[in-house]
Amino acid sequence: MTTTSTITGSRMPALLELGQSVWLDYLRRGMLRSGELAELIAAGLRGMTSNPTIFEAAIGGSTDYDDVLAREAGSSRSDADVFEAIAVEDVRAAADLFRPVYAHSNGADGFVSLEVSPGVALDTAGTIAEAERLWAAVDRPNVMIKIPGTREGWPAIERCLTNGININITLLFSVEYYRKVAEAYLAALEARESKGEPLDRLASVASFFVSRVDTEVDARLARIGEPGAQELAGAIGVANARLAYATFEEITGSGRWRRLAAKGAKLQRPLWASTGTKNPAYSDVLYLDELIGRDTVNTVPPETLRKFEDHGTVAPTLAGHEADARKRMEHLARLGVDFNDVTRVLETEGIEKFAKSYASLIGTIREKREALRKGGASAR
């Protein structure tokens, strides 16, 4: 898969001027070797994220990993261990390519994310143990370990941050849960300060999912069938994200935060995730155009990035819309849509989707190893 063609006149530097970093929601070994990732970094890309679904597509949909799987065909290592070795190697190599960005931004950007197994999403102790192990295995300062922002994840996030592990908090859908993980970050910074440990190189982002909100809400609105219901279609994902950003501004305007910032603490930036448009009736760059604001990250699928580079609009669109966003959420409630239930369903589905992708990924590795063990020239 080619991520983008050669980028000329990239919009990414213009977004950076407005305070927003673009990270790529994709990772494949071929792009590390071909120079494609280096080209994107030169064009303004500031980071990269991965997850089981991304690795499933990369390993199952290319021959990039067949040499590794051929070497492992007869080994005694489990398929899960083989995957972890692949993921650690790819994330480490990508982090090395982003290291100049990390250095030039004084540790504010240039991160690559690696996710804990979906199997520990509801297991606090298991999440902590896996995050610590992956952090040590990758051994790069510009890596983030992804931990789901579930209730079980909150104490794991705080513990790992306190111990100096950079954390990308994923699968956030509600402002309520965003406040919890923001509190976990502040508490971790304060714990480090109390122990005399440095604050200036600890990094975290809070990944707020957007398009999945519209997918779920739109389906509920369609079932209502009342006049006025459809005017909210395709609008709640952005409204919810804008309320999260207003909360971020509130937190970073507090005396508590300003005191930590004076000690060198870095912002825990909101990161807009799930920003590929799923409904063809909407703009294919909707979740980029409408969520541009200072001190944020947008993690973008390759095809969406290509479209934004072609016809996206660079303008500040995030701040100053809190009142309108709140009115939309109130209208949604009057129509009988329980947004708390929406976020509960989305979190459950998100964990299930990643678990399914992980199981499929391990199955793909097993099949390729078996085919190569039997002498197949290529298992694709």
Distance CA 99, CA 220 (A): 44
Q: Is 208 exposed, middle or buried (0-12, 13-18, 19+ CB in 10 A)?
A: buried
DSSP-based three-state secondary structure for 24:
strand
DSSP assignment of 200-211 = TT--EEEEEE-H
Distance CA 58, CA 63 (A): 9
Distance CA 95, CA 89 (A): 10
Q: Is 18 exposed, middle or buried (0-12, 13-18, 19+ CB in 10 A)?
A: middle
206 DSSP β-pair partners:
169, 270
Asked if 287 contacts 238 with a C-beta cutoff of 8 angstroms, the reply is: yes
For the four alpha carbons of 56, 58, 60 and 65, in that order, the dihedral sign comes to negative
Phi, psi of 228, deg, nearest 5: 95, -15
DSSP-based three-state secondary structure for 278:
coil
Q: Which residue has the tokens 């792009």?
A: 31
Phi, psi of 274, deg, nearest 5: 55, 55
Q: Of all helices (H) and strands (E), which one includes residue 113?
A: strand 111-115
Of 146, 180, 266, 307, the active-site residue reads 146
Residue 146 annotated in active site: yes
Q: Which residues contact 153 (CB under 8 A, 6 or more apart)?
A: 121, 124, 127, 147, 169, 181
CA within 13 Å, CB half, 315: 7
Residue-wise burial string across 287-305, b where 16 or more C-beta atoms lie within 10 A, e elsewhere:
bbbbbbbebbbbbbbbebb
Please give the positions annotated as active site: 146
